[in-house]
Amino acid sequence: MFRYYLILFIQGYCLYHIYKNRKPYYWYFVVFFIPVVGPIIYFVTNIYNKRDAEKIQSEFTSIINPTKKIRDLERALEFSDSYTNRIALADAHVENGDMPNAIENYKHTLNDSDQNDLYARQQLVLCYFQLQDYEAVIGEAEKIAAKSEFTGSKQQFCYGLALKELGKLEDAETQLKQIDRPYSNYDERLELAKFYLENDRTIEGKELLEEISSESQYMTKPNRRLYRLTIIEVERLLKSL
């Protein structure tokens, strides 16, 4: 029985590692459809070595007890109030769903003029969006809108939705349309289609929904699982038109 649960744990951790590190999709098939051998092959070739052993243990502990990771990072920050330590603490708060504390720490790093503020502002856009503080989303997004990393990003998508929420529909469409890229950004494109439908632009909304529906036929099985709810919503909307 112990061996059975150990195998399930290794398989589950491998799938988590594949997703988190954006490994090639064929690893999903190897790990999921080749019992025992597949997870072991992935674990040995992609995860385990002596230098990574402590990191694996740390990641597992963080999943089981996320507050321990935060306490450890707070102690590290007390010892050395560095940019790296504060960003790590802010990221940990995001992982734990504590956006106010994440925002406080990201904003603190902006006082360090020697550091590039792009990452902190990117994260602030996402945190404020989670809190539905759309004015703050727009304020932070506009500070990085000229950066090449902004175009087509999740931050630009949040910026567009924030503009929509505040009634700035033309500006919102300008931003959201830049996320409309074939065979990618399915969730974002679904929101753009809804935007069209909500604003009595049924033809454009239907065309985009049909594009996503057509593209979904060519998704890999892992992608179909990942975007299952998106595809269901697309098909539901198409039937309602």
Distance from C-alpha of 210 to C-alpha of 125, rounded to nearest angstrom: 31
For residue 65, what pLDDT is reported? 57
Contacts of 21 (CB under 8 A, 6+ apart): 46
Measured in whole angstroms, the distance separating CA 5 from the mean position of its chain's CA atoms is: 29
Domain 67-170, second-level architecture: Alpha Horseshoe (1.25)
* Domain residue ranges in the chain: 1-58, 67-170, 184-241
For residue 240, what pLDDT is reported? 92
Q: What is the pTM of this model?
A: 0.70
For residue 50, what pLDDT is reported? 42
Distance from C-alpha of 48 to C-alpha of 40, rounded to nearest angstrom: 10
DSSP at 80: -
User: Which residues in the chain land under pLDDT 70?
Assistant: 1-7, 25, 35-36, 45, 47-66
Element (H, E) at 152: none
215 contacts 192 by C-beta, under 8 angstroms: no
